[in-house]
Amino acid sequence: MNKKRHSAIRKMAQKARTAALRLAQTNVDEKNNALLAMAGAILVNKDLLIKENKKDIQFALKQKYSAALVDRLRLDEKRIVAMAQCLKDTAALRDPVGDILETIERPNGLVIKKVRVPIGVVGIIYESRPNVTSDCIGLCLKSGNAVILKGGKEAAHSNQAIFKICRKALKQTAIPLDAIGFVSSTDRKAVEELLKLDDLVDVIIPRGGEGLIRFVAENSRIPVIKHYKGVCHTYVSDQADLAMAEEVCFNAKVQRPGTCNAMEKMLVHKDIASVFLKDILHRFTEAGVELRGDAKTRKISKRVKPATKEDWTTEYLDLILTVKIVDSLDEAISHINTYGSHHSDAIMTTSDAEIEKFFKSIDSACVYANASTRFTDGYEFGFGAEVGISTDKIHARGPMGLEGLTTYKYIVSGNGQIRI
Amino acid sequence: MNKKRHSAIRKMAQKARTAALRLAQTNVDEKNNALLAMAGAILVNKDLLIKENKKDIQFALKQKYSAALVDRLRLDEKRIVAMAQCLKDTAALRDPVGDILETIERPNGLVIKKVRVPIGVVGIIYESRPNVTSDCIGLCLKSGNAVILKGGKEAAHSNQAIFKICRKALKQTAIPLDAIGFVSSTDRKAVEELLKLDDLVDVIIPRGGEGLIRFVAENSRIPVIKHYKGVCHTYVSDQADLAMAEEVCFNAKVQRPGTCNAMEKMLVHKDIASVFLKDILHRFTEAGVELRGDAKTRKISKRVKPATKEDWTTEYLDLILTVKIVDSLDEAISHINTYGSHHSDAIMTTSDAEIEKFFKSIDSACVYANASTRFTDGYEFGFGAEVGISTDKIHARGPMGLEGLTTYKYIVSGNGQIRI
């Protein structure tokens, strides 16, 4: 039984591989038509989606999932319209496939072009929100890739329904049905087999909690693009515009604390610490933020609890902030590179020299000067959409849009050149 | 004892990581000075190198290694001069670090720059030729990366001597000594630990036989950039210039058969097969090439032995060629995508439509029209040097030069932008 299910996954990946070769040859209109057909089908099947989603919600309530999680799972009319709109928006994006990245003319007459092409077969393993299903199908197809999806069991019915609607919609289009695959099995064995199919699947993108991502990274023989967590810092220099720094830090922490690009740690230069912290710590407390800090911060404010060693590396995803007072820009840089997660880190300063040093020294995907770390996001960067955010150094770093789902090949034109 | 050695590897990687952060801030003159200092030191220590190399050669002779392998291991004055020259050539290459790949100005005034930066810490696991040691040190340092080297036991003395000379030469430069590390242990346990250090090492590049590469790929928790083998094809269309096709195919097979970009399979359109094969098969036989082929090819020439199923996927690295007669361009494309290794594949044709279709459909790192596959090489592509050739889809594909050893980060400049 198990054996059978597992070879079914290999078969699905084989079909996806064949479909990917055909998909790489489709033109942008064919791909856009498919995305629009899926968007239409999602709207038409609104009631079915809500009915299937109710099963997941009932299961979630029975399991006593948190109210926040139940809310993330829920599909209502507004959210279904937004899912369809995301497909339409992706259709409207520029197609990066076929872009010529470089042309090299060699002395022997060879002309070498570096051309952007789809990656091939992308595996996406995700948790929670059902709209990820259609968002990822849209991004993968638009960039010319086949995709194999494996959602979490908490959204099993919703994900399956969205997938089936999308696949059926492909029938009227030039896109092969097998370009999208869905692993419905809810146990980890299925994922384990998928992660070993390195002859058929080109890249795995896990989206979800740190546990899921670590499991994927440790068990995959296929390259994985990921971020474990976002432990984002803002450093307020003694040369900062303190009014601006207050607005930016408050926004980075409070505007949406449950996201990976929210500020988790605030570093403050000793010379402006007492002036700067006085107002902002009060404002944080008013907003319900629990404050933790080092001994120096606690001397300035009694409302700050002592920070443990773990606090410096913890992503709270909540209204909690840890504050540290540092002696210098160098200390701030060293702290961020040591305890951070290489996601998004910011400096607040009016000094160009400090900005340049910070930009050069901070080993993170996104490094900011005088702006909120909350902007690390495919939409906010102008990519139109994102399939994820990477803190890896390989292939894609930071928000990953359509370009992150492509690779390149070299096409070499000659007239009989031989190697001598 | 074992425990101690293993934590020594972690310590080395930790030091490399710290060195990498400093290295990312050095300027191009500092990096070039280091490369030139190492080149000078290699020339000065020529006699020591030859003495150490003799130990490896004696070991190789005692182990009765093949004459070809013993030759690859040998260092003489000419080869030592070439090693130093490679460092000088790498110093002369343009430094890609700091290149601005893209500038995005957002409606809210944020300016986002995508800037090329070093990857960080690169692990290189290699076999055989000792010059790889200094070549890779040069490429990694020039691109701003720290490197940890693990050579094969067959060149243990030579590699260690080259490494020590290079490291000592760094003392007079701005480059931290710990930017280059060397794992001298000859057992696989050391490599196994290195491959698990995904918190310290950013990428692993294996260079050597398929066995080594598979071992690395299957045991690494760090992203691996690699190619297993080069099963390169040339398809001779019925619309080919047959005289040109003969010269190109002969070159691709015979000029240096032991390389990964040499032609291993030749596909020939049925309509020109008997005309085309008549001359070239004779010429191949004269050059000592063993010919294997399908039934149709064997009908045309008695000197062709029957090909087994394995022949279609085998990289011979030798004067052996397998020939197949196909009915169409589509059959050729399907054969190459199914049995090839996605390395380098060529079409010989005068038809632009055929070239376009071949370029679009062949899922390989390098796709050629009317030229020898032997050009897949960093030098031949104009990169100045190469650290390897990748058939992966992720990060780098084809010959990997300095740019392949870089990644990017986003630097975002604002004036107080907050997310609303």
pLDDT in tens, A126-164: 987 899 999 999 999 999 999 999 999 999 999 999 999
Query: Residue B124 pairs with which residues in a beta bridge?
Result: B149, B205
Mean pLDDT of chain A: 94
**Is the minimum CB–CB distance between A338 and chain B shorter than 8 Å?**
no
Q: How many Å apart are CA A227 and CA A48, to the nearest integer?
A: 34
CB B354 within 8 Å of CB B239: yes
**Count of beta carbons in the 10 Å neighbourhood of residue A302:** 8
CB B331 within 8 Å of CB B233: no
CB contact under 8 A, A374 and B198: no
pLDDT digits (tens, 9 = 90+) for A215-228: 998 899 899 999 88
Q: Is the pLDDT of residue B331 over 80?
A: yes
Q: How many Å apart are CA B57 and CA B61, to the nearest integer?
A: 6
pLDDT digits (tens, 9 = 90+) for B4-42: 555 889 999 999 999 999 998 899 999 999 999 999 999
Q: How many Å apart are CA B57 and CA B72, to the nearest integer?
A: 10
CA distance B294 to chain A (A): 25
CB A250 within 8 Å of CB A283: yes
Q: Rounded mean pLDDT of A335-358?
A: 97
Q: What value, to the nearest 5°, has the Cα angle with vertex B22 and ends B16 and B25?
A: 140
CA distance B352 to chain A (A): 11
Name every chain B residue with its beta carbon within 8 A of the beta carbon of A217. Answer: 198, 221
Give the count of Cβ contacts less than 8 A between chain A and B: 208
* pLDDT in the model for residue B385: 79
CB A184 within 8 Å of CB A160: yes
pLDDT digits (tens, 9 = 90+) for A386-415: 899 999 999 999 999 999 999 999 999 999
Question: Residue A52 to residues A40, A46, B283: CA-CA distances in angstroms?
Answer: 18, 10, 69
Percent of chain A at pLDDT above 90?
89
Q: Rounded mean pLDDT of B81-108?
A: 96
Q: Is the pLDDT of residue A122 over 90?
A: yes
Give the residue, A244 or A188, on which the prediction is more confident.
Answer: A244
Segment 140-169 of chain B within 8 Å of chain A by CB: none
pLDDT digits (tens, 9 = 90+) for A35-44: 999 999 999 9
Look up residue B237 and give its two tokens. 């269309």
Give the pLDDT band (50/70/90) at residue B255. Answer: very high
CB B119 within 8 Å of CB B24: no
**Count of beta carbons in the 10 Å neighbourhood of residue B103:** 10
Give the pLDDT band (50/70/90) at residue B222. Answer: very high
CB contact under 8 A, B382 and A415: no
CB B235 within 8 Å of CB B332: yes
Return the domain boundaries, chain A: 2-226+395-413, 232-375
CATH number of A232-375: 3.40.309.10
Q: Rounded mean pLDDT of B104-130?
A: 95
Q: Is the pLDDT of residue A186 over 90?
A: no
- Give phi and psi for B199, each to the nearest 5: -85, -10
Per-residue burial over A50-63, b = 16 or more CB atoms within 10 Å of its CB, e = otherwise:
bebbeebbebbeee
**Is the minimum CB–CB distance between B253 and chain A shorter than 8 Å?**
no
**Is the minimum CB–CB distance between A244 and chain B shorter than 8 Å?**
yes
Q: How many Å apart are CA B336 and CA B356, to the nearest integer?
A: 16
Q: Rounded mean pLDDT of B96-117?
A: 96
pLDDT digits (tens, 9 = 90+) for A270-304: 999 999 999 999 999 999 999 999 999 999 999 99
Report the C-alpha dihedral over residues B347, B351, B352, B353, rounded to 10 degrees: -90
CB contact under 8 A, B409 and A397: yes
The candidate with the shortest Cα–Cα distance to B231, out of B353, B319, B336, is B336
Total residue length of chain B: 420
Q: Is the pLDDT of residue A252 over 60?
A: yes
CA distance A158 to chain B (A): 30
Q: Is the pLDDT of residue A187 over 70?
A: no
Give the pLDDT band (50/70/90) at residue A1. Answer: very low
CA distance B30 to chain A (A): 16
- Give phi and psi for A351, each to the nearest 5: -95, 120
Query: Residue A400 pairs with which residues in a beta bridge?
Result: A388
CB contact under 8 A, A419 and B255: yes
Give the pLDDT band (50/70/90) at residue B184. Answer: confident
Residue among B366, B410, B414 whose CB faces A412 most closely: B366
For tokens 């984002």, what's the residue?
A: A232
Segment 20-79 of chain A within 8 Å of chain B by CB: 21, 24-25
pLDDT digits (tens, 9 = 90+) for A95-116: 999 999 999 999 999 999 999 9
What is the enclosing helix (H) or strand (E) of A29? helix A28-44
Name every chain A residue with its beta carbon within 8 A of the beta carbon of B217. Answer: 198, 221
Q: Rounded mean pLDDT of B96-116?
A: 96
Calculate the CA B242 to chain-centre distance. Answer: 32
CB A106 within 8 Å of CB B382: yes
Residue among B363, B368, B412 whose CB faces A21 most closely: B363
Name every chain A residue with its beta carbon within 8 A of the beta carbon of B120. Answer: 363, 393
Look up residue A313 and give its two tokens. 């590396």
CB A392 within 8 Å of CB A220: no
Percent of chain B at pLDDT above 90?
89
Total residue length of chain A: 420
Q: How many Å apart are CA B378 and CA B389, to the nearest integer?
A: 8
The candidate with the shortest Cα–Cα distance to B222, out of B210, B234, B208, B204, is B204
Name every chain A residue with its beta carbon within 8 A of the beta carbon of B224. Answer: 223
Alpha-carbon radius of gyration of chain A: 24
Q: How many Å apart are CA A320 and CA A197, to the nearest integer?
A: 41
Query: β-strand B100-105 against B111-118: which pairing, if any?
Result: antiparallel
Return the residue of A nearest to B363 by Cα.
A21
Chosen for mutation from A102, A119, A349, A393 (greatest number of chain B CBs closer than 10 Å) is A393
Chosen for mutation from A17, A114, A372, A412 (greatest number of chain B CBs closer than 10 Å) is A412
**Is the minimum CB–CB distance between A368 and chain B shorter than 8 Å?**
yes
Look up residue A112 and give its two tokens. 């070498």
Q: How many Å apart are CA A102 and CA A104, to the nearest integer?
A: 7
CB contact under 8 A, B394 and A395: yes
Chosen for mutation from A394, A395, A406, A415 (greatest number of chain B CBs closer than 10 Å) is A394
CB contact under 8 A, B371 and A418: yes
CB contact under 8 A, A370 and B203: no
Question: Residue B71 to residues A159, B116, B155, B261: CA-CA distances in angstroms?
Answer: 60, 39, 12, 21
Q: Is the pLDDT of residue B80 over 90?
A: yes
The CATH architecture of the domain made up of B2-226+395-413 is 3-Layer(aba) Sandwich (3.40)
CB contact under 8 A, B380 and A225: no
Q: Rounded mean pLDDT of B282-293?
A: 97
pLDDT digits (tens, 9 = 90+) for A5-15: 558 899 999 99
Q: What is the DSSP letter of B1?
A: -
pLDDT digits (tens, 9 = 90+) for B124-137: 999 878 999 999 99
CB contact under 8 A, A203 and B393: yes
> Mapping DSSP to helix (H, G, I), strand (E, B) and coil, where does residue A8 land?
helix
Name every chain B residue with its beta carbon within 8 A of the beta carbon of A256. Answer: 419
**Count of beta carbons in the 10 Å neighbourhood of residue A81:** 14
* pLDDT in the model for residue A2: 47
**Is the minimum CB–CB distance between A221 and chain B shorter than 8 Å?**
yes
CB contact under 8 A, A371 and B244: no
Q: Rounded mean pLDDT of B271-282?
A: 97
Give the pLDDT band (50/70/90) at residue A245. Answer: very high
CB A56 within 8 Å of CB A240: no
Return the residue of B nearest to A221 by Cα.
B218
* pLDDT in the model for residue A8: 87
Look up residue A268 and give its two tokens. 């403050």
Query: Residue A115 pairs with which residues in a beta bridge?
Result: A100, A409
For tokens 């809810």, what's the residue?
A: A186
Look up residue B151 and give its two tokens. 């050579």
* pLDDT in the model for residue B1: 40
Query: Residue B263: exposed, middle, or buried by beta-carbon count in 10 A (0-12, 13-18, 19+)?
Result: buried
Residue among A374, A382, A393 whose CB faces B120 most closely: A393
User: Which bin fits B122, alpha (ψ -120 to 50), beta or left (φ > 0)?
Assistant: beta
Number of H helices, E strands in chain B: 14, 16
Q: How many Å apart are CA A229 and CA A259, to the nearest integer?
A: 10
CB contact under 8 A, A24 and B244: no
Name every chain B residue with its beta carbon within 8 A of the beta carbon of A415. Answer: 244, 370-371
* pLDDT in the model for residue A185: 61
pTM: 0.92
CA distance A40 to chain B (A): 30
Name every chain A residue with its beta carbon within 8 A of the beta carbon of B203. Answer: 393-394
Q: What is the DSSP letter of A216?
A: H
